[in-house]
Structure 1
Amino acid sequence: MVTPIGIPDDWDDNNLILFEEFCELIRIPQRTVRDWRQRGVGPRWARFQGVGRLYITVAEARRFLASATVPRAEVSTDG
């Protein structure tokens, strides 16, 4: 059985998730998430004072995952 991707309920929405942590959390290669950034899709990233490591808030990660998730009933099995 596949475990759904989710953010633990006890994580504070104001906490930060680094780029690498986010990729690991959603089990997507960093290369793919970098491609999303270049195309302007995916979560909204920030940097501390415009430099340094990329991060998002827990709230942004939740928003992104909610927008990217298709309810099971809407998934078509037609080829």
Structure 2
Amino acid sequence: MVTPIGIPDDWDDNNLILFEEFCDLIRTPQRTARDWRQRGVGPRWTRFQGIGRLYITVAAARRFLACATDPRAEGRSDD
């Protein structure tokens, strides 16, 4: 049986998820997520101080997953 991908309900929407953590969470190789990023697909990533590691908020990750599971949704999910 396949377990659906989801973010735990007790995670605060304002918390941050690093790029690597997000890839682990959605069970997707980092290479695939980097390709999505270059093509403008998926959540909008931010860098710590403009040069550091990539991150998104828990809320942005939830929106991305909601769009990814809705066949009517296309393209990049917006913050």
Specify the TM-score bucket, using the shorter chain as the normaliser.
Answer: 0.7 to 0.9
CA drift of 1:53 comes to 0.2
In terms of fraction of residues, the more strand-rich structure is 1
Unmatched segments (≥5 aa) in structure 2: 72-79
- Give the number of aligned pairs: 72
Q: Which residue of 2 aligns with 1:24?
A: 24
Letter in 1 for 2:57: T
CA drift of 1:70 comes to 3.4
Letter in 2 for 1:2: V
Larger radius of gyration: 1
Q: CA RMSD in A?
A: 1.4
CA drift of 1:37 comes to 0.5
CA drift of 1:39 comes to 0.3
With the length of structure 1 as denominator, give the TM-score of the two structures.
0.87
Q: Which residue of 1 aligns with 2:5?
A: 5
